[in-house]
């Protein structure tokens, strides 16, 4: 089999190209699937290995208002910042924010609860290594901090380009689960450092509805086996 790029290989969330077959669709996907510690997993305070303190062994956010373009690929809608001005620092390394996208329903199971949506803030360092921050949300029709983003998205139908501060996705309380896993879309490669917030936010339902127009209703990968790997709670 030839090594075909991800963009060329069709995959889905059900049927013959569904999650259980991703690893067989091409060599590149097979390589990703061979990484043993896959994502998403169940996360709960009762099953953590250790608590760590924010600041000692965690991430710091250096997000700023910047331009994002709206693009559809990998079976979901993405906000891509062409200038990658926002970044985080983890283990003395800088990871630039390269992509924001979402899954419905949420992929990580939090305290045995499945939430309607999970946003992924995907970052990359100079070596091309990824780091993902996961933010879970309930949906609301009330006016909240995402109402402005919805107005921007709906107002940019032609340009598909708008300015916003990605910090809008971050919860007030920064406590989070941390573990090592994989990407949750093909190629499901690892190791990926994961950071999933404990606080569940409120997301504008109309924003999600307009982003999801014409897309798969379900785009979340089933839970993967934790296989005894350590999960930390950082607070
Ligand atoms: Zn994702």
Q: In this structure, is residue 229 part of a structural domain?
A: yes
Q: In this structure, is residue 11 part of a structural domain?
A: no
Q: Distance between the two ends of the chain, CA-based, in angstroms?
A: 46
Per-residue pLDDT band for 99 (boundaries 50, 70, 90) equals very high
Q: In this structure, is residue 26 part of a structural domain?
A: no
Mark out the alpha helices in the chain (DSSP H runs). 27-33, 147-155, 205-211
Measure 106 CA to ligand 1 centroid, in angstroms: 9
The pLDDT value given to residue 2 = 46
pLDDT exceeds cutoff 60 at 228: yes
* Nearest-angstrom CA–CA distance, 205 and 189: 31
Boundaries of domain holding 137: 39-234
pLDDT exceeds cutoff 70 at 56: no
Measure 99 CA to ligand 1 centroid, in angstroms: 9
Number of structural domains in the chain: 1
Question: Does the predicted model carry a pTM greater than 0.85?
Answer: yes
The pLDDT value given to residue 215 = 87
Beta strands at 50-52 and 232-234: parallel, antiparallel or unpaired: parallel
Averaged pLDDT, 42-67: 89
pLDDT exceeds cutoff 50 at 38: yes
Measure 58 CA to ligand 1 centroid, in angstroms: 21
Averaged pLDDT, 95-112: 97
Q: In this structure, is residue 227 part of a structural domain?
A: yes
Q: In this structure, is residue 69 part of a structural domain?
A: yes
Q: In this structure, is residue 212 part of a structural domain?
A: yes
Q: In this structure, is residue 203 part of a structural domain?
A: yes
Averaged pLDDT, 56-70: 90
* Nearest-angstrom CA–CA distance, 100 and 168: 12
Measure 107 CA to ligand 1 centroid, in angstroms: 8
pLDDT single digits (tens) 172-188: 999 999 999 999 999 99
Measure 56 CA to ligand 1 centroid, in angstroms: 27
Measure 183 CA to ligand 1 centroid, in angstroms: 7
Q: In this structure, is residue 93 part of a structural domain?
A: yes
CATH code of 184's domain:
3.10.200.10
């Amino acid at each position: 089999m030839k090594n075909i790029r991800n963009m060329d290989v069709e995959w889905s969330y059900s049927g013959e190209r569904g999650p259980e077959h991703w690893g067989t669709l091409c060599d590149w996907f097979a390589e990703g699937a061979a990484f043993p510690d896959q994502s998403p997993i169940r996360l709960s305070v009762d099953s953590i290995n250790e608590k760590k303190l924010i600041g000692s062994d965690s991430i710091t956010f250096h997000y700023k208002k910047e331009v994002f373009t709206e693009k559809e690929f990998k079976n979901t809608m993405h906000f891509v910042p062409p200038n990658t001005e926002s970044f985080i620092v983890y283990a003395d390394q800088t990871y630039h924010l390269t992509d924001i996208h979402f899954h419905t329903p949420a992929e990580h199971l939090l305290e045995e609860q499945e939430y309607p949506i999970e946003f992924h803030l995907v970052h990359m360092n100079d070596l091309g290594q990824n780091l993902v921050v996961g933010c879970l949300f309930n949906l609301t029709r009330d006016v909240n901090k995402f109402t402005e983003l919805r107005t921007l998205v709906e107002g940019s139908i032609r340009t598909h380009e708008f300015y916003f501060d990605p910090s809008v996705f971050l919860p007030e309380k920064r406590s989070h689960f941390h573990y090592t896993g994989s990407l949750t879309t093909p190629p499901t490669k690892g190791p990926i450092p994961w950071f999933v917030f404990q606080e569940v936010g409120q997301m504008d339902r109309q924003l999600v509805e307009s982003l999801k127009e014409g897309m798969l209703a379900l785009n979340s990968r089933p839970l993967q086996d934790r296989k005894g790997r350590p999960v930390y709670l950082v607070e």
